[in-house]
Structure 1
Amino acid sequence: MDITMKRILLLAFISLNIFGLNADTLTLKAGHPDTYIVKKGDTLWDISGYFLKDPWRWPTLWGVNPQIANPHLIYPGDRLTLVFIDGQPRLVKKQHIKKGVEGRILAKDGAIPAIDLALIQPYLLQNRVVEQEWLNGQPIVLSGESPSKHHIVGDVVFVNANLPNGQKLAIYEHGREFLHPETGETLGREIILTSSGRVIADGDISKVELLSSLRETKVGYSVIAVEDDSLMSAFFTPMAAQLPEPANVLAIANKNREAGKLEVVYLDKGNDAGLQPGHVFAIYRDGEEIVIGNDGVPVRAIDRSAYDKMVAHFSDDNVYKVPDVYHGNLMVFKVFDKTSMGLIMFSDRPVRVKDKLITPAELSFKGE
């Protein structure tokens, strides 16, 4: 297909998106390649980013192609070619088979994943958000066989509960209390994994041997049975999050002031609001309110005088709100009742607490 025809089709795709006639139409990225050789370390998200303005929509780019029925079967060395099927861009592959001098087929490297799970591996169990009342009812570490106040792997600690012999346990330090930024509603308590252990002697006071340590365990830390539902799926299918009202960035996992690409943040909505792992949000910063001063010169919020602030409060005629500013997108990977955790997959600008999270439909019109 020649370049002129591709441009015509691309214009047609954009027009359909603008008028809402085809919500599933993909928008190709300007200057996209026609072919791509899969490399070790690639993910489906990364590869789709070479072709699409919205790489989170990789299931549409790959999913309907009969040659790639299972996206996990894409391997390093495979050649991917962009074609158009029924007017829609699709990726097809040509397998790359390595042969020795005698024609022996060599084993390939592992199939590439949707996203790099190593990025969120530390958060599989380390961070949870739970109700404070529920947490208060969990057993705690009383002390240990060692006189030290800090316990590490191999130490035995005492827990104030009769726990089944052999039970696997996770021990958590109490973290931040999260409040809704607008209503002040308590959204839960962050708890951070310090160690894992196993009950080696039951009784009114159980003995627990620490099997692994991420940080030192201290008295007063909560002891929680390891449950299957605290783990996560190894595969995520991105989909646009559609909520009746925007979510917001509640906190940054590493407690920094700002977060960027491939960093983790907390959201102020969770399972109660319908969030699911794989939901994708566009991240926006609220547009500034600009006040027109006495001299007719626009004044930004950070430069306002007391008079400017009064004008902004009482006079709508001299105040203009500029459009919200796009900062990136994130994918939800772990969901709690009232909060969730998301990985920033693309960052145009630094992400901060209170940034707004909305349905990412309009990303189709933005360059990267």
Structure 2
Amino acid sequence: MAKSSSLIKIGILTLTLLWVSAIRADDISVRSDAPETYVVVKGDTLWDISSLFLDKPWLWPELWRTNTQIENPHLIYPGDVLRLRYENGQPVLELVRDKSTITLTPNSKVTTKPSPISVLPWSDIEHHFGNGSMMDAVKYQSLPIVLGDQEGSPRFTNTDFVLAHNVDDTKTEYKVVRKEREVFDSLGKSLGVQVSYLSDASVTETLSQQRQIVKIHESKIEAKKGDKLVLSEKVKKRDLRLKPANRQVGELVQNVNGNVLIGAHDVVIVNIGARKVKPGTVFGIYEKGEDISYDKESSYALTKSSIVDLFKQTEEVEQPAFKVGELVVIRSFENASYAWVTKTNTHLSGGEIIARP
């Protein structure tokens, strides 16, 4: 019995130490296979490049902080050469860029400088900025509503004029939106509703305090009676400032499209809102095993095949959580955020823990 109990404690201690090591203070750790030099190519992102050099790519500011040549790591261009070297035993990434002199003549051709590389591939995440958002379910219900047109048409598209209810006519530019789904976390708490953008709309005439005429334009999908109007906001392409999460702990809820399985490069919903997290915050993704019950009288041998069999129904042992991936918050709302899964070593299905990486 004593031997069995000791082995159980050793097994639990081993699992716990794995968890503790995963949440220790962040240290710069250069990959063993990191290249000495790297030439930036079109399509690279800061995350891609940092992943080549670091085990924890979100720590790239620490790698570049002592290098005056890279005053702003967000202004690195295709063709630049990055070189890894060490100062007093600490890794430093330097930029090797020739500053050639250019003489302009009347026959010179002016070319546009390539755009600096971004943190994450904008082409992959842009859709989740310009085509929809999340909002509180109660606030969605209170939005102005599309009523219809004078001909009783079932659908409305470009240049159509429609009657709307309770629009603030002191504001002229709106978007027509439609509810896709309401999102709940694993505890049943509503995180809000996902809405898709259908078209733009402009207030053209006020009939009364509660009735306005709006013109539909820039239509992506036909609007219909019952759709809502929300104030238009311009989406700006902004680079993310990566920062590891600290005390924030939450849940990966689901794929943003409602798909069952989640993999690397998918966009997901997490149950942490704008008050606790900003775009650019990096989280680790963790899975927690089921609690294990065991009988004190059972014999035990620490083997992979017996880890469940040796514990019976008398007491419970809580398993630690193991890291299975990472994600970066790209957009925050009132009660939830969208995040890009940068990597995962397994298929995710929602319900995973997110915490400091």
Give the TM interval when normalised to the shorter protein. 0.7 to 0.9
Distance 1:18 1:340, change over 3 A: closer
- Asked whether the equivalents of residues 281 and 357 of structure 1 are also in contact (C-alpha less than 8 Å), the reply is yes
Distance 1:46 1:19, change over 3 A: closer
Task: Tell me, yes or no, if structure 1 residue 222 matches structure 2 residue 228.
Answer: yes
- Cα distance in 2 for partners of 1:357, 1:18 equals 16
Task: Tell me, yes or no, if structure 1 residue 176 matches structure 2 residue 178.
Answer: no
| Equivalent residue, structure 1, for 2:9 | none
Distance 1:291 1:299, change over 3 A: farther
SS in structure 1 of the partner of residue 139 of structure 2: helix
Task: Summarize deviations over 1:196-250 as a string: whole Å, max 9, x none.
Answer: 222222333222222223323221111111246xx46602111111225x20012
- Counterpart of 2:227, as a letter, is Y
| Equivalent residue, structure 2, for 1:350 | 347
SS in structure 1 of the partner of residue 58 of structure 2: helix
- Cα distance in 1 for partners of 2:62, 2:92 equals 8
- Asked whether the equivalents of residues 40 and 78 of structure 2 are also in contact (C-alpha less than 8 Å), the reply is yes
CA positional deviation for 1:285:
1.6
CA positional deviation for 1:66:
0.5
| Equivalent residue, structure 1, for 2:94 | 92
- Cα distance in 2 for partners of 1:162, 1:257 equals 38
Distance 1:106 1:97, change over 3 A: farther
Choose the corresponding residue for 2:322, options 325, 330, 343: 325
CA positional deviation for 1:107:
5.2
Distance 1:106 1:179, change over 3 A: closer
- Asked whether the equivalents of residues 232 and 334 of structure 1 are also in contact (C-alpha less than 8 Å), the reply is no
CA positional deviation for 1:78:
0.9
Q: Which moved more, 1:135-144 or 1:23-32?
A: 23-32
CA positional deviation for 1:145:
5.2
CA positional deviation for 1:65:
1.6
SS in structure 2 of the partner of residue 213 of structure 1: coil
Distance 1:165 1:18, change over 3 A: closer
SS in structure 2 of the partner of residue 135 of structure 1: helix
Greater share of helix: 1
TM-score where L is the length of structure 1 = 0.77
Task: Tell me, yes or no, if structure 1 residue 250 matches structure 2 residue 253.
Answer: yes
Distance 1:124 1:194, change over 3 A: same
| Equivalent residue, structure 2, for 1:54 | 56
- Asked whether the equivalents of residues 293 and 314 of structure 2 are also in contact (C-alpha less than 8 Å), the reply is no
Alignment of 1:185-204 (within 5 A): 185-204=189-208
Task: Summarize deviations over 1:236-278 as a string: whole Å, max 9, x none.
Answer: 111111225x200122111111122221111112134x21221
Choose the corresponding residue for 2:141, options 136, 145, 155: 136
CA positional deviation for 1:72:
2.8
CA positional deviation for 1:135:
2.1
Alignment of 1:109-148 (within 5 A): 109-144=114-149, 147-148=152-153
- Counterpart of 2:177, as a letter, is Y
- In structure 1, stretches of 5+ residues that fail to align are 1-16, 361-368
CA positional deviation for 1:322:
5.0
- Cα distance in 2 for partners of 1:283, 1:356 equals 6
CA positional deviation for 1:98:
8.5
- Cα distance in 1 for partners of 2:167, 2:181 equals 29
| Equivalent residue, structure 2, for 1:315 | 314
- Asked whether the equivalents of residues 274 and 333 of structure 2 are also in contact (C-alpha less than 8 Å), the reply is yes
CA positional deviation for 1:357:
0.3
Q: Which moved more, 1:46-55 or 1:124-133?
A: 124-133
Choose the corresponding residue for 1:80, options 79, 82, 97: 82
- Counterpart of 2:262, as a letter, is A
| Equivalent residue, structure 2, for 1:279 | 281
CA positional deviation for 1:124:
1.6
Determine what percentage of the aligned residue pairs are the same residue: 27
Distance 1:202 1:125, change over 3 A: farther
| Equivalent residue, structure 1, for 2:334 | 337
- Counterpart of 1:251, as a letter, is Q
SS in structure 1 of the partner of residue 33 of structure 2: coil
Task: Summarize deviations over 1:333-359 as a string: whole Å, max 9, x none.
Answer: 212222111111122222221011011
- Cα distance in 1 for partners of 2:63, 2:31 equals 13
Structure with larger RCO (C-alpha < 8 A, sep 6+): 2
| Equivalent residue, structure 2, for 1:208 | 214
- Cα distance in 1 for partners of 2:111, 2:165 equals 56
Distance 1:35 1:163, change over 3 A: same
SS in structure 2 of the partner of residue 68 of structure 1: coil
Say what the alpha-carbon RMSD is for the aligned residues.
3.5
- Asked whether the equivalents of residues 37 and 80 of structure 1 are also in contact (C-alpha less than 8 Å), the reply is yes
Task: Tell me, yes or no, if structure 1 residue 262 matches structure 2 residue 265.
Answer: yes
Count of equivalent residues: 327
